[in-house]
Structure 1
Amino acid sequence: MRSKNQSPINTKIIILGLFFLLLLSVIAWSSSSSFIAENDDLSDSSNLSIDEEKQKPSAAACPSLPSTPKCTKTPPSLANALVHYVTTNITPQQTLKEISVSSRVLEKKSPCNFLIFGLGHDSLMWDSLNHGGRTVFLEEDKGWIEQIREKLPTLESYHVTYETRVNQADELIESGMEDYCKVVGDPRISRCQLVLKGFPDDIYDTEWDLIMVDAPTGYHDEAPGRMNAIYTARLMARNRKNGETDVFVHDVDRVIEDKFSKFFL
Structure 2
Amino acid sequence: MKSMGSRDKLQAAAAASGHRRVLLLVFASCFAFATLFTFLYTSDHFTSGSSPSGVSRYSSASSSISGAGAGGALPLPVFDALVHYASFSNATHRMTDTDIRAISAILRARGPCNLLVFGLGAESPLWLALNHGGRTVYLDENEFYVKYLEPRHPGLEAYDVSYTTKVRDFRDLLAAAQKSRAAECRPVQNLLFSECRLAINDLPNELYDVAWDVVLVDGPSGWNPSSPGRMPSIFTTAVLARSGAKGRPTDVLVHDFNFEVEQVLSKEFLCDENRVQGSGTPSLGHFLIRAGGPKDSFCSGQDSAAAASSGEKTRK
Matching of residue 134 in structure 1 with residue 139 in structure 2: no
CA positional deviation for 1:198: 0.8
What residue number does 2:108 align with?
107
CA positional deviation for 1:184: 1.0
1:255 is matched by which residue type in structure 2? E
What residue number does 2:252 align with?
247
Would the aligned equivalents of 1:92 and 1:122 in 2 still touch at CA under 8 Å?
no
What residue number does 2:293 align with?
none
Matching of residue 189 in structure 1 with residue 190 in structure 2: no
Would the aligned equivalents of 1:187 and 1:204 in 2 still touch at CA under 8 Å?
yes
What residue number does 1:152 align with?
153
TM-score, normalised to structure 2, is: 0.56
Matching of residue 223 in structure 1 with residue 224 in structure 2: no
Matching of residue 263 in structure 1 with residue 268 in structure 2: yes
What residue number does 1:121 align with?
122
CA positional deviation for 1:91: 5.4
What residue number does 2:30 align with?
none
1:170-189 alignment to 2 at 5 Å?
170-177=171-178, 178=180, 179-180=182-183, 181-189=185-193
What residue number does 2:18 align with?
none
**2: CA distance, partners of 1:184 / 1:99:** 31
Would the aligned equivalents of 2:190 and 2:243 in 1 still touch at CA under 8 Å?
yes
**2: CA distance, partners of 1:224 / 1:136:** 20
**2: CA distance, partners of 1:114 / 1:128:** 12
1:239 is matched by which residue type in structure 2? S
Would the aligned equivalents of 2:187 and 2:242 in 1 still touch at CA under 8 Å?
no
2:216 aligns to what SS in structure 1? strand
Would the aligned equivalents of 1:166 and 1:218 in 2 still touch at CA under 8 Å?
yes
CA positional deviation for 1:229: 0.4
Would the aligned equivalents of 2:187 and 2:243 in 1 still touch at CA under 8 Å?
no
1:229 is matched by which residue type in structure 2? S
Deviations 1:88-116 (A, max 9, x none): 85256211111222221211110000000
1:107 aligns to what SS in structure 2? helix
Residues 156, 223 of structure 1: CA spacing in aligned structure 2 closer, same or farther, 3 A cutoff?
A: same
183, 201, 206: which one aligns with 1:202: 206
Unaligned runs of 5+ in 2: 1-70, 271-316
CA positional deviation for 1:191: 2.2
Would the aligned equivalents of 1:139 and 1:157 in 2 still touch at CA under 8 Å?
yes
Unaligned runs of 5+ in 1: 1-71
CA positional deviation for 1:85: 6.5
CA positional deviation for 1:195: 0.2
Count of matched residue positions in the alignment of Structure 1 and Structure 2: 188
What residue number does 2:60 align with?
none
2:211 aligns to what SS in structure 1? coil
Deviations 1:157-208 (A, max 9, x none): 0010100100010011011111221341111112211100110011101010
What is the identity percentage for the equivalent residue pairs of Structure 1 and Structure 2?
36
1:114 aligns to what SS in structure 2? strand
Q: Which has the larger radius of gyration?
A: 1
